[in-house]
Amino acid sequence: MADKDISQAVIARLPRYFRYLGDLKEKGVERISSQELSDIMKVTASQIRQDFNNFGGFGQQGYGYNVNYLFDEISKILGIDRQHSLVIIGAGHLGKAIAGYTNFTRRGFVFKGAFDRDPALFGTMIRDVEVRPIDEVEDFVRNNNIEIAVLTIPKDQAVPMAHKLADCGIKAIWNFAHVDLDVPNNIQVENVHLSDSLMKLSYNISRYEKTIKQ
């Protein structure tokens, strides 16, 4: 079932399916139909079936989907059936927040290193990891087979850092800096542009206020 070329729209929905299936699993639900899932998730049953069928058939006619099986298949698709090592670059509050997020550990994301520019932080601990000087990042990534770098540093530092990371074999960058990174496309980039998100919120407030005025 090699995914030919799944659209990012579909990919973006997978974690949400995963989340709901995890909840169902916890509740002890064994099977679910696309229609039931449709009611809970508020997307069409048709879309659910189409989405899953991008990756092959996970259901059974007349029965529906087995929750446990579907959950496992989606974790495989998402690549969270195995571990990913990561480092956090920028040991401020945001970096600490992410490092401390235990759910990530549960999903196989292993926090291996933390780096900062501020000497006052060197040697301090974030969970079981000590903060190191930022110019040790490259060696650390190379020597410890790090897959993911979490960039929680200001945007002017993020751009050169992304290039350095590209050179030392990082596989992916989870970018929290408010800037678009330009790296070779063998490196996966996922942006979390918090300011963009807040502006969307602000837009929707304004839009709603306009509609009620009329």
Partner DNA sequence: TAGATTGTTAATCGATTAACAATC
Residue 45 contact among DNA, its own copies, none, beta carbon within 5 to 8 Å by kind:
DNA
Distance, CA of 170 to CA of 190 (rounded, Å): 13
Alpha-carbon distances of 118 from 87, 132, 159, 173, 205, rounded to whole Å = 17, 9, 18, 22, 38
52 binds, among DNA, its own copies, none (CB under 5 to 8 A by kind): DNA
For DNA, the binding residues in 14-33 under the rule CB under 7 A are 32-33
Could you tell me where the beta strands, DSSP code E, fall in 81-214? 84-89, 109-116, 125-126, 129-133, 148-151, 172-175, 188-191
Three-class DSSP category at 2? coil
Our finding on whether 52 is near DNA (CB under 7 A) is yes
Q: Which does 60 bind (CB under 5 to 8 A by kind): its own copies, DNA, none?
A: DNA
Residue choice 64, 92, 133, 169 for contact with its own copies (CB under 8 A): 92
Does the protein bind DNA through residue 100 (CB under 7 A)?
no
Least CB distance to DNA at residue 9 (A): 4
Q: Could you say which of DNA, its own copies, none residue 167 binds, taking C-beta under 5 to 8 angstroms by partner kind?
A: none
Contact of 96 with 126, CB cutoff 8 Å: yes
- What's the CA gap between 10 and 49, in Å, rounded? 11
State which of residues 148, 158, 162, 165 lies at the interface with its own copies (CB under 8 A): 148
What is the dihedral sign for C-alpha 9, 194, 75, 169?
A: positive
Residue 204 touches DNA, criterion: CB under 7 A? no
Quickly list DSSP for 142-163.
Answer: HHTT--EEEE-S-HHHHHHHHH
Residues that bind its own copies in the complex, under the rule CB under 8 A: 2-3, 6, 11-12, 14-16, 18-19, 77-80, 84, 92-94, 96-98, 100-101, 103-104, 107, 109, 147-148, 171-172, 174, 178-180, 186, 188, 190, 192-208, 210, 212, 214
